Amino acid sequence: MNIFLSGLHRPGKSPALLVFVCFLLACVSLSAQEEPVSSVGAEEAAASTMHDSPPVSSAGTEGRGSPHETAVSDSKYNPRERKIFIDIPLTIAEIMTVNLLGNFYWRLWGPDSEVAYFTIESIKSNLKPNIWTYEEGQGGDTFLTNNFIHPYAGGIYFASARSNNFSFYESILFSFFGSTSWEILGETLSPSFTDMINSSFCGIALGEVMHRLFRELDKKGTAGRIGATIVSPTDRITAAVRGYGPDESPSRIHSATAAYGLSWLNSRFFENNDVVTSWNVPTAFIDFDLVYEDPYTAQSMIPFEQFDLFMSLAVSVPLIYNFNVIASGYLASWCLADNYKNQISNGLTLHWDGYFTDKGSLLALNSGRENLNFNPSSLDYTLQWRRIFNKSEFSLKTHLGFTPWAMANYNGGANRDDLNLYLMGGNFKLFMELQQMKDDGDGGKKNGQALALNLCFFDTWRLHDSPHYDNNTLFLFSKITYSFPLTDRHSIYAANSFQLLYTRLLHDEGFEYPNIMRWHNNTQFGIKITL
């Protein structure tokens, strides 16, 4: 940690790292509000803070055992208890194992495999913070590699710590340890601030989601355990080594849907006044939407006691892909109203979004010029409201806040370089849904038709002292969906998603470097399944 902090004093390198350190300091003050991991009574107290909800046991709640789980553990499994002299070395061992496997993979199949052959000299050199730098272009890796694979790796580090009984905020330090150890030990290239921040900071939300979904899937039989292992491999390693078994608490997944079918991808990229590139191709798609705990009655000081996860993938042949991830969870929440007509919650949320559109190989060395990529992380104030009518339900989720870290491509120059833009700014998100509620014949309600609109807008500016051009980059993501029920679980699904990226250079860099605007549209038709 001292090595990392010493890098903050280097001119031109501090702003992004300073933002990350400030976030950690803010986390310290919040972490005091988390209950001790080993306390069974604390589990019940934390669960009781969920407004008008029954107490829940240990699934995903800070790795602590409940009375019910302890009873099961006495006969079948070891209890989840904090044992610091086991928790720390096992977490470090798991992280280093992940890094070692990553290094072997890159040696065997990496497009630039020579960088994986580290030496004593390369390690000594990488230990010097004065050589750490921003990654200036995409020549080394694709945008997807830098801005999804690295956050995913950070999520694995984070989930490893969570599975070994560390709290949410404590686990951030292990995510940072995993990232810096990879940058110093796993590659011969100079350590990249870009990769460290993407792994350590962007991996927080993803890692907590992975850990909690593992706990949910692990109790759903053989198929669920296989799925849990895929979602969070280090959770499975911890469970196997320490004898942790699935708990028997009720599911905390509030809702989950998947949609799949065919779509039409239409994109145009405006590189300059004379050259326009476009795609018009058929694609196959899959959308996945999951809500963990009721967002409208959430009340807890435990991070990610409630979160939302949306993922979508559209792929064509030859390969053009559009891959989107939107993950957000409450760091702290308060319920403002809960009655038969209105439920309202609000609080502070952590977000990680990834929007990736490109062609060609996923892990090739060069992204090419025909892409639309944006990757932000945000801290927002959130208000979520549900209004229940006689035969319908209206829900609204609004997020407004600060985006301390974002990345985008700029490749509009005549030299055809594919450059990184490092950005800071603000964001606004709006999610609305109107859903028909039909009588199921037993006095309850079942889902009917549903119309939803999602809107995410980011206004960002060049991060001070980062490389390349002063710019104002705007990004917009919108999606409108409609579903018509065929059965209790199956619906006809129609949707249209739209993405727009616009980068305006604030200084005249010559005619070779124009402002760039590109958009992507995907029209979908298929089947939605309620899981």
Task: State residue 475's pLDDT score.
Answer: 97
Residue whose structure tokens are 């005249």: 508
Task: State residue 43's pLDDT score.
Answer: 37
pLDDT value at 11 more than 80: no
Domains and CATH numbers, the chain: 2-242 (no CATH), 253-530 (2.40.128)
Whole-number percent of the chain with pLDDT over 90: 47
Cα–Cα dist 359/412, whole Å: 17
Strands (DSSP E) found in 415-512: 419-439, 445-462, 471-485, 490-505
Inter-residue contact 459 to 429 (CB < 8 Å): no
pLDDT digits (tens, 9 = 90+) for 169-211: 999 999 999 999 988 888 888 888 888 888 888 889 999 999 9
Closest residue by Cα to residue 334 from 346, 349, 350, 348:
346
Cα–Cα dist 422/374, whole Å: 10
Cα–Cα dist 294/291, whole Å: 7
DSSP 145: I
> How does residue 309 score in pLDDT terms, banded at 50, 70 and 90?
very high
Task: State residue 439's pLDDT score.
Answer: 64
Neighbours of 397 (CB within 10 A): 21
Inter-residue contact 116 to 187 (CB < 8 Å): yes
Angle at 245 between CA 241 and CA 248, to 5 degrees: 165
Between helices 84-109 and 233-242, what is the axis angle to 10°? 130
pTM of the model: 0.82
What would the DSSP string read from start to end of 162-216? HHTT--HHHHHHHHHHHHHHIIIII-SSPPBHHHHHHHHTTHHHHHHHHHHHHHH
Closest residue by Cα to residue 328 from 417, 209, 470:
209
Inter-residue contact 450 to 435 (CB < 8 Å): yes
Neighbours of 173 (CB within 10 A): 17
Whole-number percent of the chain with pLDDT over 70: 78
Helix (H/G/I), strand (E/B), else coil: 438 = strand
Please provide residue 498's backbone torsions phi and psi, each rounded to the nearest 5 degrees.
-140, 135
Residue whose structure tokens are 């800071």: 424
Closest residue by Cα to residue 171 from 228, 218, 238:
238
Q: If you average pLDDT over residues 439-446, what whole number do you get?
A: 59
pLDDT digits (tens, 9 = 90+) for 50-105: 333 333 333 334 443 333 333 343 457 788 888 999 999 999 999 999 999 988 88
pLDDT value at 337 more than 90: yes
What would the DSSP string read from start to end of 113-172? GGGG---HHHHHHHT-GGG-B---BSSSS-HHIIIIIHHHHHHHHHHHHHHTT--HHHHH
Closest residue by Cα to residue 292 from 213, 378, 382, 204:
213
Closest residue by Cα to residue 472 from 426, 503, 518:
503
Range of weakest confidence among 17-26, 138-147, 263-272: 17-26
Inter-residue contact 284 to 262 (CB < 8 Å): yes
Burial annotation 68-99 (CB, 10 A radius, 16+ → b, else e): ebbebbeeebebbbbeeeebeebbbebbbebb
Closest residue by Cα to residue 467 from 193, 178, 173, 104:
193
Q: Where are the alpha helices (DSSP H) in 76-119?
A: 84-109
Chain centroid, CA 67 distance in Å: 32
Distances (CA, A) of 214 to 247, 287, 356: 11, 20, 25
Q: Which two tokens stand for residue 149?
A: 């694979």
Inter-residue contact 172 to 27 (CB < 8 Å): yes
Inter-residue contact 309 to 290 (CB < 8 Å): yes
Q: Give the helix, strand, coil percentages of the chain, each rounded to 5.
A: 30, 40, 30
Which phi-psi region, left, alpha or beta, contains residue 89 (left: φ > 0; alpha: ψ -120 to 50)? alpha
Q: If you average pLDDT over residues 349-368, what whole number do you get?
A: 76
Amino acid identity for residue 239 in this structure = A
* 129 or 85, higher pLDDT: 85
pLDDT value at 34 more than 50: no
Residues in the chain: 531
pLDDT value at 272 more than 70: no
Q: If you average pLDDT over residues 224-232, what whole number do you get?
A: 91
pLDDT value at 141 more than 80: no
Q: Which two tokens stand for residue 487?
A: 């059965």
pLDDT digits (tens, 9 = 90+) for 449-484: 899 999 999 999 999 888 888 999 999 999 999 999
> How does residue 18 score in pLDDT terms, banded at 50, 70 and 90?
very low
